[in-house]
């Protein structure tokens, strides 16, 4: 609220200064007994361009038109006075308007138009003293023009600097959005791959049970239904994030935490595979969220790989332990690598690669390899001080 009020006060002060300076122009010209109508036209065109609120601009009033037309009107007035050989006074109002328009041109116009419109505003400003003295050799006129050049350089430099900040901010926002979308895509891959693989395995089990144990088929079908529902929910949340316009909270990424590991293991269990979760009582509930989310991903990706590559595993064990500010996550199975999934469902081997990047980004270590005897184990360790 303070920031908004500050901007409002600054704008109000700027508007008041430009209006007061314009009134001073009229008083200067009027007191000299000159015709004020050309000055009124120049000031009115410039004031409309400067003071018209940006949020109420019609589509045709582009920054190029807004900054070029008043400069052309001012320049034509100066050239007309030079050609006619008559003296025409100028004042601080016209100078302030042209400097404001120079600022707008350099900061907001497209690159080529910024140079053209900025040059027009600068030339119009430098012509104003010539309409009175008609000679650059006059010491006073030359001094005024040098002062004008300094002002033009300062205003154009400030506008260019702010334009560069705007560009850098835009690039930073674009890069952040791109990185976030890549992260969201990785999250969606993890969820969908996990659930769809589960649907595929449970469908194979259901086909077998349809002929051998039809009376026990309902729990398997219920698991398929639950996995499909969770997949659709994950996709719907992800699409909602990608289409978020800022009017709604964007914190809807389908991430998990340590509490969700219990539901993950329970949902993975099937009539032919038993999953046991061992969570050490020393594991705190207030670990940093990014660590909890990464630990959840380790368990999720490991269980997905069991379904893909070790469908013959009868026992899967998930362990969570905590010791000296380090969280350890381990997923082990007793499979021999037997699988009945189609080749297209085996995955491209990128799951563990992405998982390792996620773990190492948090300063942790990931190890995946065969166990002594049969089976496979994935172990990750994170530095995980409490929040």
Domain boundary among 77, 102, 134: 134
- The answer to whether residue 153 is domain-embedded is no
* pLDDT, averaged in runs of 10, over the chain (387 residues): 46 78 87 86 91 81 91 92 82 91 93 93 91 73 87 94 91 77 68 69 74 76 76 67 50 65 81 85 84 87 82 87 89 76 49 78 87 86 73
User: Is residue 19 in some structural domain?
Assistant: yes
Looking at residue 211, its pLDDT comes to: 77
For residue 247, being part of any structural domain is answered with: no
The predicted pLDDT at position 1 comes to 42
**Unique residue bearing structure tokens 């122009």:** 25
pLDDT for position 263: 84
pLDDT confidence of residue 70? 94
pTM: 0.54
- What is the C-alpha separation between 335 and 62, in angstroms, rounded? 68
Structural domain includes residue 203: no
Contacts of 78 (CB under 8 A, 6+ apart): 88, 124, 127, 128, 130, 131
Which residue, 114, 134, 154, sits at the end of a domain? Answer: 134
How many distinct structural domains can be found in the chain? 2
Question: Which of 134, 160, 177 is at the close of a domain?
Answer: 134
Position 272 scores a pLDDT of: 72
Structural domain boundaries enclosing 89: 2-134
* pLDDT score, position 115: 93
Closest CA to 23 of 109, 92, 89, 79: 92
With residue 107 as reference, give the H or E element that holds it.
helix 92-108
Look at residue 86 in the predicted model and tell me its pLDDT: 80
The answer to whether residue 334 is domain-embedded is: yes
In a domain, 227, yes or no: no
In this prediction, residue 12 carries a pLDDT of 64
Task: Write the CATH number for 377.
Answer: 3.30.565.10
- Specify the pLDDT at position 250: 44
Predicted pLDDT at 245: 46
């Amino acid at each position: 609220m303070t920031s908004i009020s500050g901007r409002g006060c600054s704008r109000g002060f700027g508007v008041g200064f430009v209006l007061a300076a314009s009134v001073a122009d009229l008083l200067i010209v009027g007191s000299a007994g000159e015709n004020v109508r050309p000055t009124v036209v120049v000031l009115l065109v410039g004031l409309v361009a400067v003071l018209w609120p940006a949020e109420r601009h019609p589509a045709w009033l582009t920054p190029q038109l807004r900054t070029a037309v008043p400069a052309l009107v001012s320049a034509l007035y100066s050239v007309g006075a030079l050609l006619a050989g008559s003296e025409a006074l100028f004042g601080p109002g016209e100078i302030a308007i042209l400097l404001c328009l120079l600022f707008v041109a350099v900061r907001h116009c497209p690159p080529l138009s910024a140079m053209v419109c900025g040059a027009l505003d600068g030339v119009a400003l430098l012509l104003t003293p010539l309409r009175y003295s008609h000679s650059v050799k006059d010491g006073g006129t030359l001094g005024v023009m040098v002062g004008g050049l300094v002002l033009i350089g300062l205003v154009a430099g400030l506008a260019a600097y702010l334009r560069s900040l705007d560009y850098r901010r835009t690039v930073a926002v674009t890069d952040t959005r791109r990185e976030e979308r890549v992260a969201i895509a990785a999250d969606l891959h993890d969820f969908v791959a996990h659930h769809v693989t589960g649907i595929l395995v449970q469908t194979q089990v259901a086909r077998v049970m349809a002929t051998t144990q039809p009376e026990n088929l309902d729990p398997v079908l219920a698991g398929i239904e639950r996995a499909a529902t969770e997949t659709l929910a994950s996709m719907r949340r992800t699409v909602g994030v990608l289409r978020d316009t800022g009017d709604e909270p964007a914190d809807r990424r389908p991430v998990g935490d340590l509490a969700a590991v219990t539901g993950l293991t329970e949902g993975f269990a099937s009539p032919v595979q038993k999953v046991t979760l061992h969570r050490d009582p020393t594991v705190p509930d207030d670990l940093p969220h990014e660590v909890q989310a990464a630990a959840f991903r380790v368990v999720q990706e490991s269980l997905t790989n069991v379904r893909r590559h070790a469908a013959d595993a009868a026992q899967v064990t998930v362990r969570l332990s905590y010791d000296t500010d380090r969280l350890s996550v381990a997923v082990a199975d007793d499979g021999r690598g037997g699988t009945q999934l189609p080749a297209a469902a085996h995955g491209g081997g990128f799951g563990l690669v992405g998982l390792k990047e996620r773990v190492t980004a948090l300063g942790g270590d990931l190890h995946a390899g065969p166990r002594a005897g049969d089976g496979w184990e994935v172990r990750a360790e994170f530095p995980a001080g409490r929040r």
